[in-house]
Amino acid sequence: MINLKLKTIASFVSPEDIVIDTCCDHAYLAIYLKQNHLCKEVYASDINIHALEVARKNITSSKLNITTYLSDGFKSINNSDIDTTVIAGVGANTVLDIIDSAPQSIKKYIISSNNNWDELRFSLYQRGLYIQEEKAVLDKGKFYVIMLVTKDYVKENKLSLKYGKSNNQEYYLYLIKKEQEVLAKIPRNKFMKRLNHKRNIYYLRKIIKRISDC
């Protein structure tokens, strides 16, 4: 059984997609996509040879035919058929490095960064890549933000780039809690720093109200 994070990533895959999971780890996502006929074709790659060896064993034991690549992003991959890329389980800087090495044939990115979600959104926007949909899921006590990104223009503002477009109230309550924890540690005489966090809490509460009203 794959976890909720991977199932949510899979929900962004379409039947006509030719997918590569560029940080496949043990290939659970690729196997799930192939077994359930959720895409036209799927490939798996990883920079770590040991992870890829486990992935190949899992693919073999699942009696599936999935081509694998040992590669740092797209650097050792020459396959112009691929049009959809999954980048998950790595930091925002690695996500951007993989995107910057991606071929022009890639039309869709499904991204789940381990950190710096707001900075990643800004960087994607600057690269002409736009978040079409975003989901935040709680899996084993940790929130994961998963983005569906294409080259189709979507107008953004500072708030949507900072906080995203998820409709998960629990996620935004979690962000408020984190802001409150930081605020409690800032001395009272640091007025501007405190004001910034209070403003963040105010906007997050507005987002929660908007979700509640929908």
Q: Give per-residue pLDDT as tens, 86-128.
A: 999 999 999 999 999 999 999 999 999 999 999 999 999 999 9
The CATH number that domain 4-163 falls under is: 3.40.50.150
pLDDT at 214: 76
Q: Where are the alpha helices (DSSP H) in the chain?
A: 4-11, 28-35, 49-61, 92-100, 117-126, 158-163, 169-185, 191-213
Q: Domain-by-domain residue ranges, the chain?
A: 4-163, 169-213
**CB burial of residue 104 (10 Å; 0-12, 13-18, 19+):** exposed
Tell me the two tokens of residue 160. 């949507």
pLDDT > 90? residue 16: yes
pLDDT at 171: 95
Rg of the chain, C-alpha, whole Å: 19
Phi and psi at 170, nearest 5°, equal -60, -40
Q: Give per-residue pLDDT as tens, 135-162.
A: 999 999 999 999 999 999 999 998 899 9
Phi and psi at 160, nearest 5°, equal -65, -35
Under 8 Å between Cβ of 1 and 29: no
Vertex 60 angle, CA 101 and 35, to 5°: 75
pTM of the predicted protein model = 0.94
